[in-house]
Structure 1
Amino acid sequence: MSQVLPILSAAKLFELCKIDSKFSELRTIAGFDTNIFNVLISEPLQQYAELVQLAPASEAHHHSGPGGLLKHTLDVTTLALKKRKGYQLPLGGSLTDIGKQRLLWTYAVFVGCLLHDIGKLSANTRLVAIHKSGKELPWTPSSGPLTNLVDKDGAKIPLEGYRIEFRKTPYRYHEHLALIHWGVLPKSGRTWLIEASHIMAELTAWLWGDKFESGTIGQIIEYADRESTAKNLQVPPDHRFSNVIPAIDRYLKLLRQWIQDGAIRINTNGGMGWVDEHGHLYLVCRSLAEKLIQECNSLGLKNLPQDPVRVYDILQEHGYALSTDDGKAIWTISIETGTYHHQFTCLKFESRRLIPSSRELKPLDGVIKFVAPGEQASAKIIPESAAQANEQPLQNVTTGGENEDIEQTPEPEMGVEAAAITSENSSEKIDNNISESEISEVHDEVIQETAEPLDTVSNNQEDVGPVKTSVSIIKNLEYEAPETAQKFLSWLQRGLLEKTILINNPDAEVHIVEDGIFLLAPAIFKTFLRLHGVPEEKHKNLSKRFANLRKHIRCNDLNIHPYWVSSSNRAAKINGWLLPFNVIYENDYPIPKPNKFIKKKLGGDDG
């Protein structure tokens, strides 16, 4: 872009962008005293405005007009602080901690909003300063605001204005630059945050682009960012700085052409699309995204997203791909006809928006059903004799896996790996026939046989394994997606309630104990991933995401609880996660009897 833009003060920028320069709404929402608000929030916003000037938030996507970045940042900040009021932070904290830390958490959310896109000015959206002489000068926010740009001797540089230049950088590269601009905040604000390591851990993870480690702060700001983006894309675009055709326009043109030409087969076995009786068109998400990416690349449009997930986002943000009840783009559907039965993960569209008004897509001659999370597979019911195995002693209990796989991930704010729990110096005395190494081994493969045979499940019973299921539960499970942990929990709850996941059985990976529901780790995470076609070695990713849900009971700042499983004269140590009963068995649902062979302590003393 060659247009030279004037360098404006914060007051003038707020006036042009129709932003309340007193931030009255933010003052009310944030809850700070007037003087503190001025120092911690108002002044940084004014400095931010003078840094970003009239820069857009994107080249040809949301908030792509003059002042788009400033408008978007203020919008995200307002939405996020409203959302934050619905949280008691830290999650699971005492009322005293929640009260003491209320304003600090609020400030962290504000900072996460303020800095979340500022890295764009050092990455793909550059302001090029123009000297009075006409010479162009390189500039980034680290150089200081254009309103007061100085040379190496401290003399103010006379500027004519600036122009905006778009550059190609790796996707989300700007997020890695956010913390470079930490100096936008006052020293008092930076010091306040740095003293709270658990809050800073979430904040810095969010600014770096690590949605997994960003915790509640990340969830709040991501929601606000998504809402602001979607809201802006629903209205006619402002005058854009760039004449680049937006990705959504290219995608829709291709999509409509393919449907018209029959390049996308609809309502046929092996096809990509399915139409229900309400006029909704379901397109297999991964196939559609890859087809769009491949076609755009073949046309030489390689500046468009190469990540299928980003394609989903664009189609959803513009309101074409309809959202599920929980705001996701992906729908899991079941297709049933007289000759075939399939299950797909799809994007859902209103077909009328993709075809000419004179044409109508006929619905499938069959049934299309939405499959809710946790319902992705039909499962065979475990025989009642197996489900009642809590009355039987355990001879060969699965103990969780290899030593190196022990799952003792601390909660996100701890930021360190917990050491494996061992008991080499345990004072507990067991049968002399068991060596000390056997006692201290965290993951013994089995409890050794006793002198007298133990009763177990009937020999003629089907070898069902820890989980009974006929097919994978969720196709194309994205193990890195934040919602994967919730899917795991839904799968676990449904499996336990429907008795398709064994409990209190020699092969079981779930046991009922006096204190709650004991999950052998990492075995249960590996089983979930294996059933969904994901490599088992990704279990650490899943367990960390599960820790972020904060549904489990902690053990001395660790996620892992050590338990002992024993028979008359043999014992082994096992490790796992402990869930409160109400996480699985809600609304007075009857809780199975505890497994009498698994105890917190060896011997008769459980205290």
Structure 2
Amino acid sequence: MSPIEQKAHHDFIMGASMLSFFQRRKTSPTTPSNAAAGFIKPESSDTLLSTPRRRQLIENIWQRTSLPRAQFDTLYVQAFRSYAALVQHLPASENHHHAYHGGMLDHGLEIVAYALKIRQMYLLPIGAPPESQAAQSEAWSAASAYGALVHDLGKIAVDVQVELADGTTWHPWHGPLDQPYRFKYVKGRDYRLHGAASSLIYTNVIPAKALDWLSGFPELWAQLVFAFAGQYEHADILGEIVSQADQASVAQELGGNPGRAMSAPRQSIQRQLAEGLRML
């Protein structure tokens, strides 16, 4: 087991209360209203984020930062609102994890909470002087959260086809849905493509001023750009944080043990299964 995997395993053991929080959330997902037969009416981001579960997740995420509420709203909640406006009631997968209306939004918030929990195990950037680590602390937390939030965002660009009520096809780079919609999964889709496709639309979610800020930290910025493009093998510690948080969210949704899935050796069946599930 690598040092990173050992730390993540320890993190999940120490984070039992967080896991119990996710276990308590098994409630029926919100069913969107139909504007017409087969179509779903788009809702505002505030409405989408107002469910008790999502409010609890955002509160949990805030507690993982060291920010006053106003700054948290600027750096995090603004991104959550933009994300919710884009993904609406779309599921995170067709038949597997979070495969229900609103599953993409739940998965996005869930993985951010896991990513910030894992990030707390590290002093970043690794090997930097303590004063530099202290100065960059919130930047690395925000980068972990942003990388986690958009890791599956490309699915709405390449995995699903969204038809609007007027018969046109919606593409997420044009902005949020503004009329009733319905969707279907693309047959024969490349399950590896959505990771790279996130780079097409992450600027629709992450505030420009936040990107300006993070671009001032070269090591962090390089890792985050790789993560936005789904190239986690090149994203170093940030890629590990996002990948492990994703696998934990998937395992939790499917009734598994996130800590066990993450601590398994990389070539084990458990680890391969966890990594395979994120492609669905």
TM-score, length of structure 2 as denominator length: 0.76
Contact 2:151 2:195 in 1 (8 A): yes
Structure-2 residue corresponding to 1:191? 212
Superposition pairs of residues 77-156 of structure 1, within 5 angstroms: 77-130=112-165, 135-147=166-178
Cα deviations by residue, 1:373-400 (Å, 9 ceiling, x for unpaired)? xxxxxxxxxxxxxxxxxxxxxxxxxxxx
Structure-2 residue corresponding to 1:24? 59
> Partner amino acid for 1:230?
A
Structure-2 residue corresponding to 1:205? 226
Q: Which has the higher strand share?
A: 1
Q: Gapped runs of 5+ residues in structure 2?
A: 1-36, 276-280
Structure-1 residue corresponding to 2:49? 14
In structure 1, what is the Cα distance between the partners aligned to 2:106 and 2:234?
27
| Structure 1 residue 60, shift from structure 2 partner | 0.5
Contact 1:40 1:186 in 2 (8 A): yes
Contact 2:57 2:109 in 1 (8 A): no
Deviation larger for 17-26 or 212-221: 17-26
In structure 2, what is the Cα distance between the partners aligned to 1:72 and 1:58?
10
In structure 2, what is the Cα distance between the partners aligned to 1:71 and 1:174?
18
Question: In the alignment, does 2:71 pair up with 1:51?
Answer: no
Question: In the alignment, does 2:197 pair up with 1:177?
Answer: yes
Moved over 4 A (4+): none
Cα deviations by residue, 1:539-584 (Å, 9 ceiling, x for unpaired)? xxxxxxxxxxxxxxxxxxxxxxxxxxxxxxxxxxxxxxxxxxxxxx
Cα deviations by residue, 1:514-540 (Å, 9 ceiling, x for unpaired)? xxxxxxxxxxxxxxxxxxxxxxxxxxx
Structure-2 residue corresponding to 1:70? 105
> Partner amino acid for 2:181?
Y
**Paired residue secondary structure (1:55):** coil
Contact 2:198 2:230 in 1 (8 A): no
Cα deviations by residue, 1:461-498 (Å, 9 ceiling, x for unpaired)? xxxxxxxxxxxxxxxxx9xx9xxxxxxxxxxxxxxxxx
| Structure 1 residue 21, shift from structure 2 partner | 7.5
State the percentage of identical aligned residues: 27
Contact 1:89 1:101 in 2 (8 A): yes
> Partner amino acid for 1:119?
G
Contact 1:81 1:109 in 2 (8 A): yes
In structure 2, what is the Cα distance between the partners aligned to 1:191 and 1:324?
35
In structure 2, what is the Cα distance between the partners aligned to 1:211 and 1:185?
19
**Paired residue secondary structure (2:263):** coil
Contact 1:128 1:139 in 2 (8 A): yes
Q: Gapped runs of 5+ residues in structure 1?
A: 148-158, 235-317, 332-346, 349-477, 482-607
Question: Which residue of 263, 266, 270 corresponds with 1:326?
Answer: 263
What is the CA RMSD across the aligned residues, in angstroms? Answer: 2.5
Contact 1:129 1:138 in 2 (8 A): yes
Cα deviations by residue, 1:158-198 (Å, 9 ceiling, x for unpaired)? x3x11011113212201111122223222210101112221
Q: How many residues were matched structurally?
A: 233
In structure 2, what is the Cα distance between the partners aligned to 1:96 and 1:220?
23
**Paired residue secondary structure (1:126):** strand
Structure-1 residue corresponding to 2:25? none
In structure 1, what is the Cα distance between the partners aligned to 2:58 and 2:262?
33
**Paired residue secondary structure (1:128):** strand
Contact 1:324 1:330 in 2 (8 A): no
Superposition pairs of residues 382-421 of structure 1, within 5 angstroms: none
**Paired residue secondary structure (1:15):** coil
In structure 1, what is the Cα distance between the partners aligned to 2:52 and 2:223?
31
> Partner amino acid for 2:191?
Y
**Paired residue secondary structure (1:165):** strand
Change (3 A) 1:324 1:6: closer
Cα deviations by residue, 1:262-301 (Å, 9 ceiling, x for unpaired)? xxxxxxxxxxxxxxxxxxxxxxxxxxxxxxxxxxxxxxxx
| Structure 1 residue 222, shift from structure 2 partner | 0.8
| Structure 1 residue 12, shift from structure 2 partner | 2.0
Change (3 A) 1:21 1:146: farther
The higher radius of gyration belongs to 1
Q: Which has the higher helix share?
A: 2
> Partner amino acid for 1:189?
A
Change (3 A) 1:169 1:32: same
> Partner amino acid for 1:34?
R
In structure 1, what is the Cα distance between the partners aligned to 2:212 and 2:57?
25
Question: Which residue of 248, 251, 254 corresponds with 1:227?
Answer: 248
> Partner amino acid for 2:144?
V
> Partner amino acid for 2:244?
Y
Change (3 A) 1:105 1:325: closer
TM-score, length of structure 1 as denominator length: 0.36
Change (3 A) 1:202 1:226: same
| Structure 1 residue 17, shift from structure 2 partner | 7.2
Contact 2:64 2:117 in 1 (8 A): yes
Cα deviations by residue, 1:136-168 (Å, 9 ceiling, x for unpaired)? 121122111114xxxxxxxxxxx3x11011113
